[in-house]
Each structure stands twice: as C-alpha cells, then as structure tokens.
Chains A and B, each alone.
Chain A
C-alpha cells in the first residue's frame, strides 16, 4: 500500500513536470472549473495508482463521466459576463474541409455550470477578405446544454475570426477568437 502511494505521488510529480501541454491545459481547466471537476479529475487518476498495487483494489464506486467540456478551449466574452468553452471535430480546424464545433456557455463567475437559458450563435469570417463562411452551419442543441454547429467550413487559408454571440434578455455579448489557417 505504501508502495502504491509512493508510485501515485511519483506519477503526479512526473505529470506536473513533464506532461504534454494538452494535459497541463486540462489540469488548468479543472482548477478553473471548480471543486466538482477537480474531484472528477483526481478520480480519473486513481486507476493508474491502483494498477501498481499488489493488493487487490477495492471496487470503485460508479463514477459520473467527466463533462464533455472538460479540457475544451476557452474564450471570454468581450464585456466579461460569459465564458465560452468550445472544441472542434476534428480537434484541429482543417483547411477547406467541413468540421463541427461544440460550445458550452458559462457565467464567468460560475464556470462549472453550463448556462441553458442563453442563446448562442456561432459564426466566422475573414475580415481581411471581406467575407464570411460559405456555409450556414446547422445548429443542434445537445442534452448537456451545448450547441453543436455542424457543417462549418473555413474554405480559405489565412486569418479567420470565430464569433460566439451569447444573448440573454435582449443583451448580446460576443466572445471572439482568431484562427490562422495555413
């Protein structure tokens, strides 16, 4: 048991020292996300610690799967009211090939509770070229409160701006991020 604790601690030290950037980002996201998600993340590490133990491990209690937004990219709205977490499929936005984008909206001061009473519109444009997307993506609302934009297309290389317009009670705030496509 002592050996397993030592190995678990060693694993954590190694993770924090030499883990890939994606894992670091995920850990950072968990810290920003709040206690519930920190708990989920620490639970996710338990199997690694147990696998090194010689003693039979106690059967873990059923865990809720981590939220799909965990580890997603984050963009704050211009006036600071909202945090938008988003990820694409495929993970790297392709040049001139369709992709989907899933986004979750949070209040900036409660970044672990997905807001469901806001409207989210996702769009993109190339300001340098004076045009937007050649597509009008199809929006699908998911059970976890996310919005999935299907059929997104960045058809040209260069600087794209991605817009998340969050509306509630006739007020709209925009979260914006730019993407360089080569």
Chain B
C-alpha cells in the first residue's frame, strides 16, 4: 500500500514536471531587461522637480499665506449650512479625496472629486480645465450651491468679523473692507447663473462695493492656493527604483517587484500609457475623450473641455484678469492660445497617476472602482462609445493578457508617494 502510494506520488510529480519547468522558464516570472530606449523613457518620469512657480499669485509661496489658507481649507462657517469645508470632500485621511463615485456637498455633483495632493503641478484645474491657476479654482466650489453654497460677501464678512482671520488677512493684504452694513453688503449676494436671488442681490450692490468684495475673494483664493501648493507627496517606490537604475543600488532596485517592473515596461512600451500619462507627474495636463459611458447612460451630456475651453477664457479670476499678479506672463499667454473646437466635446483632463492606488474610484464620473477595471477597459475598450467625427483616434484596444493587466496594476501601485507632513493634514492648531 505504501509502495503504491509512493508510485502514485512519483507519477503525479512526473506529470506535473513539464508545468513546473514551464513555470520556471516563464518570462512572466522574471523581471524584464530594459533596453536603452526603455530606460530613457522611464527616466522621463522621475525624479519629479518641485512644483512650477505661479507668478500670477504673489503670495503663492508665502508661508503666512499657506498658514492662512490652511485655516480657510478647514473652515466650515461660511458654507450655507455651516458644516462643509474643503476638507469635507478633500479628506486628508483619504489622500484628499472623498472615496465616492460622484462628489457630494450640499447636493450631488456631476463629477468625481479629484485629489488635491500634488495639485500644484497641474496646468489646468477641474476636470474640464475651466480654471487656469490653482487660485482661480478656489471660488468655484466655495460658491457652488451644490458644494459649499457660500457667498463671496459672506466670506468677506467672516474674515472681517473673526479676529484671527482678520489679523491673518490684514498681515498679508491689508485691512479687509468694512462690510458691517448688511444692506450695502447683503450676505447672500454672489454672481450666479443658477441662483437668481443671490445674483440679483449681487447686481444690486454698488460697483465699487462689488469690486472690493472681489478683491477679498481673490486674496482668499490665493491663500487657499498657497496652502494647497504645499500638499506635495514625497518620493514613491517608483522614484527609488529609478534612482537605483541610475546609481546601481540594489536596495533601491528592490523597490519594484518583478511584476511591477514588467508593468513599467508595458507602461512605456506596448501599452503606451506614456502617450497621455507623460512626464514626472504622469499626466500631459491636457484633455482627451475616452469614450466612457456616462453613469446615466449614453449619449454623453457632459461636454467637458468643450465648455471648459470657453469658460476658462471668460473666468473673472484668470491669469489675464485684473486680479492676476502677472497679467502679461506665460500663464496669460497660455490662456490666450486655448483652443475651442467641436471635437473637444466630452474631453476631460488627464489625471496624474501619482498616488493613484489611493484615489479610487476612477475617471471623471468614478465609473471604475478598481485599477484593474481601468486597465481592462483600455485593454478591450469594451463598451466604449464610438469615436465622434474629427475626434482623436489614439485609443485602440491594447489586447493585454491577464498577467500583463496584473503587472500594469502592480506598477501603478508603486506610484504612491509619502504623505505631506502631518501638520499640513489637519486644521491649524488641532491635534
């Protein structure tokens, strides 16, 4: 009986031997060799330089403005219900996202909440790029009735009436205007295309009073930006790996598993993710249509960049506006060259892939809950809407194997950087 069992075991081993040998020889089990071209492409993604300067914001790198902006970021009092701050949707413990498919403030939003980690590297802001600077982005969520529902007059009043906010503001920008007269400065006044009463109250104000309030709003926005510019993540395992490629340090090279290294080779090679997710921030900063089916079903109703290109030029706080500190600078030139064309319908901004494993769900409506779903979509393009007339034809099904999909996901997981310092991830003074 014992001999028979041994015989069966040997037979089983013999039968399994080809599979074991095959597994040992399986290229999928090994790290890839990078040729010179691949190495050049890999090094285009790391190291990442410091964020670009923002000359349109004179307090962009003023630590006092950053501290003031941090206070504002966690401020709830100016929201319509007194409970919502920027941090409500950009939760520090969730990589400054909300983890939801679509954003939720006072109401349900139509797009997914992006992270504000590393936001200082962005060229355009919002999914449709309707703001051209980080500070020009800030008034939008503040006053949107579905987000915080604040008003710029109410915000100016809070700053004027709260001793700590007033002191911080005054140190940076001089004393805020006296808005005590509620008839002259109605707290519910703001320019709005959707809130008729707020808009009427705004238009009922004197022009010089509206201007004084706009100056306060621009200064608050620049302080928000000064804080958010500091929310930069530290090096990711991928960055350590690239350092290892340069200096040959095997400890650094171990930062990427063989699977992640194969994923990296795919990223810059066969899968060509680098076409759009280029450079150290893994984004070209521009806009593309992916053919994603909207959550509400086809046809797509969100025009994305098509409207964003128009809105950014009309934005009252853009780089060429009277509130900008560099009205003739590079950002203003960039703004003047923004192109608007019918084929931009449904294009959305290429998000950075840094910290991507921590910022699910994915896409502008949070259509995918996992990275594997995202990569599988690009592999098959199954369910994608047909490309419109004159629209770009970059995306073709990649035809990846299951192993390749797993390798790409494994690589993407190595792009998580270290969080900004803890003191930047909570309200000032909180423990």
Q: Which residues of A contact B (CB under 8 A)?
A: 95-96, 98, 129-131, 133-138, 150-151, 153, 155-158, 182
Contacts and interface: CB of A to CB of B under 8 A. Distances in A.
Given A138-B337, A150-B337, A157-B274, A130 B393 contact: yes
B83 interface: no
B394 A129 contact: yes
Nearest to A156: B275
Interface stretch (B21-29, B139-147, B281-289, B366-374): B281-289
B93 interface: no
Given A150-B337, A156-B278, 17 more contacts: A95-B279, A96-B278, A96-B279, A96-B285, A98-B334, A129-B393, A130-B393, A131-B394, A134-B287, A135-B339, A136-B337, A137-B337, A138-B336, A151-B337, A153-B337, A155-B284, A155-B285
Interface in B325-339: 330, 333-334, 336-339
Tell me the dominant secondary structure on chain A's binding face: loop
B339 A129 contact: no
10 contacts: A95-B279, A96-B278, A96-B286, A130-B394, A135-B337, A138-B336, A153-B337, A155-B285, A156-B275, A156-B276
B41 A182 contact: yes
Contacts of B337: 135-138, 150-151, 153
A98 B391 CA distance: 23
A95 to B, nearest CB: 7
Nearest to A133: B339
Q: Which 6 A-B pairs have the closest CB atoms?
A: A151-B337, A131-B392, A130-B393, A135-B337, A136-B339, A129-B394
Interface of B: 40-41, 274-276, 278-279, 284-287, 330, 333-334, 336-339, 343, 390-394
Contact of B392 (A96, A129, A151, A182): A129
Contacts of B286: 96, 134, 155
B204 to A, nearest CB: 38
B393 A95 contact: no
Contacts of B284: 96, 155-156
A150 B339 CA distance: 13
B333 A138 contact: yes
B52 to A, nearest CB: 11
Contacts, number: 57
A153 B394 CA distance: 18
A22 B40 CA distance: 25
A152 B339 CA distance: 11
Contacts of A153: 337
Nearest to B333: A151
Contacts of B330: 98
A99 to B, nearest CB: 12
Contact of A130 (B285, B336, B391): B391
Contacts of A95: 278-279
B339 A157 contact: no
B392 to A, nearest CB: 4
B154 to A, nearest CB: 37
A151 B285 contact: no
Contacts of A150: 333, 337
A182 B287 CA distance: 20
Given A98-B330, A138-B336, A157 B278 contact: yes
A40 B333 CA distance: 36
B341 to A, nearest CB: 8
Contacts of A182: 40-41
A129 B285 CA distance: 17
B340 to A, nearest CB: 8
A151 B336 contact: yes
A136 B338 contact: yes
A94 to B, nearest CB: 11
Contacts of B275: 129, 156-158
Contacts of A135: 334, 337-339
Contacts of A155: 284-286
B351 to A, nearest CB: 15
Contacts of A96: 278-279, 284-286
A133 B391 CA distance: 13
Contacts of B278: 95-96, 156-157
Contacts of A157: 274-275, 278
Contacts of B336: 138, 151
Contacts of A151: 333-334, 336-337
Nearest to B339: A136
Nearest to A135: B337
B91 to A, nearest CB: 31
Contacts of B333: 98, 138, 150-151
Contacts of A137: 337
A181 to B, nearest CB: 10
Contacts of B279: 95-96
B158 to A, nearest CB: 39
Nearest to B340: A136
